[in-house]
Structure 1
Amino acid sequence: MSNELVVLEADDILRSGISGFNEEDLPLQIQGQISKLNELDKSVKEAMEAATLAKDSAINAGNRSAGFGKKKVAIEELQSAGLDLAKAVQSGAEAQKISFEFQTKLAEISKYLFGLGVSNIASNRFVVRELEMRLKGASREELSEFARQELMSVVKQLKEQEDILRKIENLSETTKNHDKTLKDQSQINQSIDEQLRAQVKNDMSHSEQLKVYAKTNKRLEEQLKAQAELDRIHSEQIQAQVEISKLHEKQLKIQAETDIKLEEQLQAHAEIDNQHSEQLKVLAENIDKQEEQLGNFHERNNELNEQIRNNLETIEAQEKKINSLNKEILNLKTLLDSKANNTLSKITLSIAIIAFIVSFVHFLF
């Protein structure tokens, strides 16, 4: 046939995945496969009819009488029966061959139709709908019972495959949601890891305490081994060890509570540190202002020191003048004492005193 449809091999279906077909071509492809099934079924029926004809010829030859005068006819019948028997054997062999080919091609066609439907849900539903329409619209002459059963089996498998594909899509969506949840959880875990690394520092001190407890337990175990031969003492020591274990449990509980309190204290200290940092910033600003004021005071102090040095020099010069005036006053007093006229002496003394006062006032201002 010029328009005969090529049946795909099973390996070709697996390799290609039937990914290149168009939905518009599906009816033609399905019709081609059904036509191929009908052709194979027709070939099997023809082979079976030929085998039946050969069998009937052989039976007729066996029933033919070989009496007097009938040998020629009997021989001809035997020859005809032998020929029919040879044809029957050949037809039987061909029937077996065609039957085997029919089974093989039927399996290939089923695989091909199944492969058309497993690519996705849409094509699956399309193939199922098309096959069901073909099965409902075909008469028994158009489609053999065996081919009909095989196509119904394909439809059943495709419907089951549709459920599987739907479950796979749901599972894919669930997997995406799980991936998002895992990413969010990963970020949470990173935050927890940072908190745990901060907690490690606190745990180091706890580990030291646990080492001390371990040494204590080791000493207790050595004491218990030393008293192993004395059953009564050994029993008492075991009881004591039980009590110690209970005490250790209490201590561990207390230690756990202490850890919680330490964490709270650390958080409180962290807040206090933040407050101290703010206070230090304010103090630093105040110190900068005070340093600036001190610089100004230092400059003012240098100016005052310079003025003091100048005043000291002026005072020294004035002291020299005062000493000189004092000498002059003494000289005048001596002079006045030597004179007889007291009035003149008083006048002279008054003039000297006035001169002294004027000089002193000049010194001060």
Structure 2
Amino acid sequence: MRIDIVRVPIASPSDMKALKLRMEEGAIDPSKVIAVLGKTEGNGCVNDFTRGYAVDALRRFFSTYVGAEAAACISYIMSGGTEGILSPHFTIISRVEEGNQPLPGGMKALAVGVAHTRPFLPEELGRGSQIEEVSRAVKEAMAQACITDNSDVHFVQIKCPLLTDADMAEAAARGVEVVVNDTYKSMGYSRGASALGAAIAVGELSSDQAGDEDVCVSWDKFSSIASTSAGSELDYCEVIVFGNSARASGELFMSHGVMKDAIDAKPLLEMIAANPGAEVVQVLAKAEADPTGVVRGHRHTMLNDSDINHTRQARAVVGGVLASIVGDPMIYVSGGAEHQGPAGGGPVAVIFKRPTG
């Protein structure tokens, strides 16, 4: 396979002008698109409807080119919140499976696989059932991407559900309890369970090391490659696995590191230094406010701000740090990093293009 990555700016969640232009230029073949990863300009919280709006607009757009059934098979993952200098955009991921030759000498290139879980009942969110099902889906996406070595997985993007008031009422009517009776807090539990599922899938944790009692409690249990985002626009999990494979071709490849806190630029700088001459195609990262309320010995107020949610502030901070290094604000930074990297930190990954000549 060969994976192509094209980023396009958007003026609104439904803006398809730049996407259409790149298709007309031949940079994107709609029949080869397998996923769209987007940043929309909502608040990233429970009532961020820009995510669902963008998914609906994208699905309608691709339907005009490939038909409704094929458009529905594309994986759409939207992350709300472009605080600070983050620029709203779509990252279009295409896979070409014919006419490609593996790279010489066992070299590995970027490979991407997609999968999804079954729909979840409200009482399953944030619990072992979600962990197990996400782990299965991640393994399925890895197999689709022809990634056989766990160390070749560099980023697992997961879109997961949250609990709505209607979900909680429906569960109560059946006499079952949900993990938490708060729609906003449910986002963290769903993100956390999804991240633990990814950790098990790639061998960072064993299946008996993460269960109901660990979600949003055992912060020492985390994934260094998971990025999870919760929304009300779906009742199942969408999974996109990014990594390198000897069965892939092309000039793109990937690497990742882990930020220890929101101002830790070292992992990104080290990846760039380790790949001289390579072009940065896209940066993917998670952002989190340190739960201790302290960063490198100094107090921060993100967790106590009643006006602006801490996940929004964390996205702005991490987005500014990473964008200043690559000189580009059109990067993917998602907030809420429960069990995604160490507490207060988060994974950061880079898609590179090999230098030619």
Q: Which one scores higher on RCO, CA 8 angstroms, separation ≥ 6?
A: 2
Q: TM-score, normalised by structure 1?
A: 0.15
Larger fraction in helix: 1
Larger fraction in strand: 2
Structure (1 or 2) with the larger CA radius of gyration: 1
